[in-house]
Amino acid sequence: MPAENPAAAPAAPGPDVLRRTEGRAGFLTLDRPRAINALTHPMVRALDAALADWADDPAVTTVVLRGAGERGLCAGGDIRAIHDDARAGGTASAAFWRDEYRLNARIARYPKPYVALMDGIVMGGGVGVSAHGSVRVVTERSRIAMPETGIGFVPDVGGTWLLGRAPGELGTHLALTGAQIGAADALLTGLADHHVPAAALDALAADLPRLPVDEALARHTTPPAPGVLAEQREWIDACYSAATVEEIVERLLDSGVPAAKETADTLLAKSPTALKATLTVLRAARALDSLEAVLDLEYRASCAALTSHDLVEGIRAQVVDKDRNPRWDPAALAGVTEADVARYLTPPPGGDLGLAAG
């Protein structure tokens, strides 16, 4: 974090979100460093309240989002809490998603520059509070991913909107595999706008309260190190343009490209139901004309996943017991029916999110 300015307004108390103003900037810091700043429901509400307050405040011309600690901006939502809620048949997760997705939409439509410093780990819900912003800054330490299929879930927080608009089939590849990408690939796929060395983030944050955003960025941006997706684009586009997950896997295995075969093995370790639901939701998202409509769609998918076997099992294997050996049901792609996938597009018992109609 930047050194405190003695003239800066004092930080307001909040639920793991530090809020302060300095000069013309409002700073929001996610403050759960031991959990890589994983989002809780109170944190989502605190972020939303701050943005609502500052939207019409003439003293705040720029908003800056950071993460406390050295590990990353945000590792996502608190999936252990989601696991416990799903096991209990509760409604807390659906309530969390309602507020989280509304926050994602607010960020995307924010009337002032929203500068997200996407240093370190930025995954799942962390992408939702950063990649919808108007100014997305990555560093050489950035590791960005939507890893939901590995826990029996579907990319949410507007992730299918973002990935569905990546060049070619790069977004499909990232959505299905959950692969982590660095700075250059984040720029290529449209998840980020600028690269700034991690060592220069404090200086950038110190400039933002006193300079226009473009001027502050111009002082610190540098070209990123080369990524990997540009070189893989040919086989990714060819394989992921298939109509079904089964055909995607078949094309990957038959491509003759070692990296493609490794990717097929990666896919076959994910939740078969989550893979098929993700491909369906991602392609439906491509046909929608607004982030709000996509968030409505993702809310349906998230609520369906909450009542599935695979979400509880996936979180158990990856986070609770950490045996890394999920027992998916169905265990293979062939066992996932059209009705299984259709559930992810069906309005939940508690009603739709309704953002697009708002």
At 165 the pLDDT is 97
Model confidence band, residue 315 (pLDDT cutoffs 50, 70, 90):
very high
8 Å CB contact between 245 and 273: no
DSSP state of 316: I
Active site residue 126: no
The predicted model gives 262-276 an average pLDDT of 98
Q: Which residue among 77, 126, 171, 182 is the active-site one?
A: 77
The predicted model gives 287-296 an average pLDDT of 98
How far apart CA 291 and CA 161 sit, in angstroms, is 6
Helical axes 229-240 vs 170-177, angle rounded to 10°: 90
**Residue 168, CA distances (Å) to 115, 190, 286, 306, 331 in order:** 27, 12, 12, 31, 30
Q: Which residue among 85, 156, 207, 292 is the active-site one?
A: 156
User: Which residues are bridge partners to 25 per DSSP?
Assistant: 22, 62
How far apart CA 1 and CA 4 sit, in angstroms, is 8
Three-state SS at 181: strand
Residue 173 has pLDDT above 60, yes or no: yes
8 Å CB contact between 171 and 165: yes
- pTM listed for this prediction: 0.94
At 358 the pLDDT is 74
Active site residue 4: no
Segment (H or E) for 214: helix 213-218
Strands across the sheet containing 72-74: 72-74, 121-123, 143-145
Model confidence band, residue 3 (pLDDT cutoffs 50, 70, 90):
very low
pLDDT tens digit sequence for 66-120: 999 999 999 999 999 999 999 999 999 999 999 999 999 999 999 999 999 999 9
Active site residue 31: no
Tokens for 296, please give them: 């409505």
**Residues whose CB is less than 8 angstroms from the CB of residue 340 and which lie 6 or more positions away in sequence, other chains included:** 273, 276, 277, 330
Q: Which residue among 78, 100, 148, 193 is the active-site one?
A: 148
Q: Which residue among 125, 126, 152, 158 is the active-site one?
A: 125
Average pLDDT, the chain: 95
**Residues whose CB is less than 8 angstroms from the CB of residue 327 and which lie 6 or more positions away in sequence, other chains included:** 313, 317
Active site residue 227: no
How far apart CA 59 and CA 50 sit, in angstroms, is 14
Model confidence band, residue 185 (pLDDT cutoffs 50, 70, 90):
very high
DSSP state of 124: T
| Sign, CA torsion 119/70/28/211 | negative
AA letter at 79: I
